[in-house]
Structure 1
């Protein structure tokens, strides 16, 4: 990026001087145009610096567009086949059947519907998570429950199903936070806290 900015600056100089040289040799009859050109010629560094600034801005904009496309392509390549690309949220229980009917009419296969509540992980074994820089602790997590374990969440440790007062934690999150089977985790949501024992880890 720095090299591109240097090359752009080197190109803007000759191009800008060339444009000013052409303006100097133009014969303009309109008084306002002559006054504007004379002002540019008296202070050549002002239009040149503005040209460089605009060129750099357009270069950065083009770079952002290229990087955005590249990042999206890489992200899509990392997704498993048949990954969902649309997500429906805030569906009330009485709306599930109409939604399924609508999707079937449009020949769209939907994944299983499951409930979600949002809460923060605020304590691990009674110790506050304040000060931990992990991204998962600086936002609300999506918590869900189900009688059946989804096939795409294979069990890697512990036992299924969790008993009352127990939870299953995603493997990557458990590894990052050092949570082991038998540890106690506390979730806080809607001004209330609830402590649960870690009973399983799943992918």
Structure 2
């Protein structure tokens, strides 16, 4: 067979040896498109054919979680970013609070706000300061931590804080770490991103998405 794109079954010695015949035409089978069934996620949220959107288009639905968590009344917002100041963090919280409300969660203002300009030689000082804060506020059991942009220290800080809060001194403190994306450095947060953060928080605080 000279054309590599053709199978040339009639010239295949193995097929001939077994007296096989291969039809090169594809088999055509009649079919029909079934109507879309109704999908029930929760008592309040059903999806049917009338609500169906274009395929491949994601829609962030503003519906409650299956079991929204009860957000801790005392929690801390820890800002380790060199790009965000207190006002930027306040704007972030307000947007996160609105998304939480859509999902059935009442998110109170952070009781504690700490801001550190962390450098490679000051990580231990930051850890000591946070440990001191935990000692003075033992009723605070949830931290949202905005990590620094510096890749050289971000991974170390992530590990140190996880150990400090969840495994060592602050055993039982739940943490949600946030690695800033480029637009978020300019305080531009989109709904999908905030919704994703809330989904993680809801699971960590014993909710069901």
Q: TM-score, normalised by structure 1?
A: 0.20
Richer in strand (by share): 1
* Larger fraction in helix: 1
| Bigger RCO of structures 1 and 2 (CA < 8 A, at least 6 apart) | 2
TM-score, normalising length from structure 2? 0.20
Structure with the greater alpha carbon radius of gyration: 1
